[in-house]
Amino acid sequence: MLAGVAAIAGVVGTGLQMFSSFKQAAAQKKALKAEERARKLAAMRERREIIRQRQVAMAQAQQGGVNAGAAQSSALAGVMASTYNQAGRNVQANLGNDSAGSKIYKANMDYASWGQISTIGAGISQVPGMISGIAETATRTFG
């Protein structure tokens, strides 16, 4: 009798473990997706800020050139080219960071998926022992 209760408890426990692993993995994936959206939004905002800073620097350089009477000078053109170049490097670095972040996100999602499969496998591996225990109990009980 007690062995039968223990076997049933084992089956219920394995089922609960498998169910909770599905829920845990789903919650982890949901959190990772939210984190990825936030990271991409921050990267986009940073790129916009880089462009804004470039526009401000260009306007300041142009105004400075006009104030100095050098609106058509090569020095002003050099400052403008340097400003564009720096902004381009900053945007490129931002895109590289975004790409690396996407790879980390994918690795975390894979990890969550394989962790779920591992837990399910562990639960399934316990089933034969439980079935054997139930069969032994039934044999003893019912002859």
Nearest C-alpha neighbor of 55 from the set 89, 97, 78, 86: 86
Q: Is 76 exposed, middle or buried (0-12, 13-18, 19+ CB in 10 A)?
A: middle
Q: In a 3-state reduction of DSSP, which class is residue 66? A: helix
Residue matched to tokens 């959206």: 37
pLDDT of residue 4: 67
Contact between 101 and 39 (Cβ < 8 Å): yes
Q: Which residues contact 28 (CB under 8 A, 6 or more apart)?
A: 112
Nearest C-alpha neighbor of 101 from the set 55, 32, 13, 50: 32
pLDDT of residue 70: 72
Virtual CA dihedral for 16, 19, 23, 25, nearest 10 degrees? 110
How many whole angstroms separate alpha carbon 80 and alpha carbon 78?
5
- Averaged confidence pLDDT in the chain: 81
Domain containing 73: what range? 2-142
pLDDT tens for 4-36 read: 676 677 778 777 877 887 888 888 888 888 888
Q: pTM for the complete prediction?
A: 0.59
- Structural domains of the chain, count: 1
pLDDT of residue 11: 75
**Residues of the chain whose pLDDT is less than 50?**
none
